Amino acid sequence: MSTQWVLGLSLVMAFVIGLCLVISYLIPRLTRPDVYFAVTVPPEFRDSAEGCSILKRYRVEVTIFGVLTLLIALAAIRISGPNYLMVVGMAGLFLQGVGPFLAYYRARGRVLPHAAAPATVREAALVPREAHVPGGWMLQFPPFALLAATAIWLRLHWGQIPEVFPIHWGANGQPNNWATRNFAGVYGPLLIAAVLCALMGFMAYAMLRWSRLIRVGGAAGEGERRFRLLVVSIVVATEYFLALMFTWAALLPLSHKQSGPPGVIPMLVFSLAFAVVTTVLMIWFGQGGTRLVGSAGAASGAAAPVGDRTPDKYWKLGLIYVNRDDPALFVEKRFGIGFTLNFGHPGAWVFLALLVAVFVAIIFIVPSHHHP
């Protein structure tokens, strides 16, 4: 393995783990004031001595896990052979996922004795809601146009595509998975991207149409509307991101470079930049736009308690919402920023099934598993 690869991979690993650590570290203070570690609490609880102590312990645990993960990942890159590199790397990332979850689970256990009764007052604006995705249909068109243009380009250059071509490279830069020059192998990535983009488009529309505004009046309502627009805009931006990534992947067969996927560095930088910008914007807004309006703004508008209008008993571990009596398809996350599916809604399962189908297609349909 070349020194360049080791250095590059170490930097990427450190960056991803660092970003995960920052997000995990900040999340508890980004939620609504009366939702703490996914438990409904009095709004003043998070600033109490007990609330601060729980947060401190959580952050210490998250940091320990983050540093451990980083050390394991870096050690794996330096000492393991290329065959085991990804396995150990994945184990490191797994730890980065499990660690914060354990810290969250423990903190949630400490918050639960302080749980308060959730708000029972609900409010709704008595005006028809505009469910216009930012940019409208005109902005939905370019990702699909790009994918279609790429398909035409590949058809025109069919003869230049090798019979068997690499589609996946190991950490050592050598190809380890190939596809055959047939419909699935060549057009598969584009079709998958089209389905993913369509799902993203649907998600943007569904978030506007089948999720609720928790506050409708005052500064809090305005902040929430801006937050919703941000989340939907990020989903639309993700459509473009996916279209670009898959276009790049679909054009790889036309490159005859074997030592590594061409253009991987710019694509990696682009991906990481996208993740950073998205994260910064979400942190800046806070869940439901609460950080835009501050505590005074959050208290403005109607006199009803804030809350997230989803009773605690319908949340599994505070992360998965299952409420058959709630017609909302998307609800605000309790621990995190943005929306999550209501698995009591049949549409959530259809959405999930389509998403799983796409990943199954990526794993089983496109690659031929044929070694040249």
- Residues 65, 100: Cα–Cα separation, whole Å: 7
* Smallest distance, another protein to C-beta of residue 27, A: 25
Question: Counting every residue, how long is the chain?
Answer: 372
Q: Which is nearer to another protein, 93 or 322 (CB)?
A: 322
b/e string for 115-145 if b means 16 or more Cβ within 10 A?
A: eeebbeeebeeeeeeeeebeeeeebbeebbe
| 243 CB-contact burial (10 Å; exposed 0-12 / middle 13-18 / buried 19+) | buried
Q: Give the nearest distance from C-beta 82 to another protein in angstroms.
A: 51
- With H, G, I as helix, E, B as strand and everything else as coil, classify residue 306: coil
Q: What is the Rg, in whole angstroms, of the alpha carbon atoms belonging to the chain?
A: 23
* Sign of the torsion formed by the C-alpha atoms of 276, 277, 278 and 280: positive
173 vs 223 by CB, closer to another protein: 223
CA distance 319 to 307: 16
Q: Least distance in Å: CB of 38 to another protein?
A: 18
The smaller minimum CB distance to another protein, of residues 56 and 129, is found at 129
Q: CB of 286 within 8 A of CB of 337?
A: yes
Q: Give kind and range of the element (H or E) at residue 321.
A: strand 320-321
Distance CA 308, CA 36 (A): 11
Question: Nearest distance from residue 315's CB to another protein, in Å?
Answer: 14
Contact 118, 304 (CB under 8 A): no
Closer of 75 and 121 to another protein (Cβ): 121
Least distance from another protein to the Cβ atom of residue 219, Å:
8
Nearer to another protein, 279 or 300 (CB): 300
Binding residues for another protein (CB under 8 A): 120-129, 209-213, 216-219, 221-222, 302-304, 309-310, 325-328
| Nearest distance in Å: CB 57, another protein | 34
Q: How far is the CB of 301 from another protein (least distance, A)?
A: 8
Nearest to another protein of 152, 303 (CB atom): 303
We find the least distance from the C-beta atom of residue 290 to another protein, in angstroms, to be: 17
Kind of pairing between the strands at 164-169 and 175-180: antiparallel
Measured CA to CA, the distance from residue 8 to residue 77 in angstroms comes to 10
Angle at 212 between CA 287 and CA 46, to 5 degrees: 30
Helix (H, G, I), strand (E, B) or coil at 110: helix
Nearer to another protein, 157 or 209 (CB): 209
Beta carbon nearer to another protein, 39 or 213: 213
